[in-house]
Amino acid sequence: MKATDLNQAFNYVDQAYLMEADTPEKENQTMKNKKRTFYIFLAAALICLMSITAYAAELLNIHSYQSSGCDIIEKYADINRTLTRIGLEAEIPEEFSNGFRFQRAKVQAYDALDENDEQLLTMQELYVYYRNEQGQEVTLVACVNLEGLPKDERAPASSKTVGEAELEYYQDVYRFVPEDYQPSEAEKEWSNQPGHYISYGSDEVREQIASFLRWTQKDVCYSIMDWNTVEPDVLFAMAEEMIH
């Protein structure tokens, strides 16, 4: 699988584990009514268990992903029990010092399939949604880190070492288009650039920047993500707070 073919690997990703935060309700309803909507959110980080780059997908011969269950957690008091159930030794804060507070969480399970739709792996991730008083939202994703997979070859927009953890901040650009949209040759060239994605299922053509901070600690891969509404320093501070 080439890096430019990453979108194809997500052609059958179930919408249950796509982040809907900061998406207009009208568009949410439109996307929910579209079967097998081709709508990627943070492809390089959302499935952080796989360190999901095209290189990792190629290494494991992953062709597509399929949802195999989703559990909603409404109360923070249930987080530790959930972590034990899925075998994830992670530290999940209820609130950060900058005012972001737990809203809800979910555990998403999915299967990685080869080109013959044979199951290669079954994976689980924990998504924790936070909001501050200004209405800004971020999502913390935690999952088991798999050793031996190649790292993203892109240089991060910024990085910082905190203890033994290497924090890497990325920004991806998503061009959301209608499902029947035919990209021009120029747009195809644009989408071949690292961190540029064309995502189908929107009512109109629009672009949005997705930001995420990623690090690994004690065999757990973490990502804090948002739609570029939060300054990078805020995400770095939240990660440092978790690490310490």
pLDDT (tens digit, 9 = 90+) per residue, 56-75?
A: 555 566 666 677 778 899 99
- Looking at residues 191-217, what average pLDDT do you find? 88
Indicate whether this model's pTM tops 0.85.
no
Interval 75-105: pLDDT, tens? 999 999 999 998 899 999 999 999 999 999 9
CA–CA separation, 36 and 189 (whole Å): 25
- Looking at residues 153-167, what average pLDDT do you find? 92
| Domain total of the chain | 1
The boundaries of the domain holding residue 80 are 3-243
Interval 46-57: pLDDT, tens? 444 334 444 455
Percent of the chain beyond pLDDT 70? 70
Which residues make beta-bridge pairs with 168? 159, 214
- CB within 8 Å of 92: residues ≥ 6 apart: 79, 83, 105, 126, 128, 140, 142
Residue 148 or 99, more confident: 99
Residue 18 or 106, more confident: 106
What confidence score (pLDDT) does residue 228 get?
81
Answer yes or no: is pLDDT of 16 > 70: no
Q: How far is CA 240 from CA 97, 216, 243, in A?
A: 11, 12, 5
With H, G, I as helix, E, B as strand and everything else as coil, classify residue 139. strand
Residues 135 and 142: beta-carbon distance below 8 Å: no
What confidence score (pLDDT) does residue 151 get?
65
Residue 132 or 108, more confident: 132
CA–CA separation, 224 and 83 (whole Å): 18
What confidence score (pLDDT) does residue 44 get?
33
Lowest mean pLDDT among 21-30, 69-78, 123-132, 216-225: 21-30
Residue 134 or 16, more confident: 134
What confidence score (pLDDT) does residue 136 get?
94
234 by Cβ neighbours in 10 Å (0-12 / 13-18 / 19+) ranks as buried
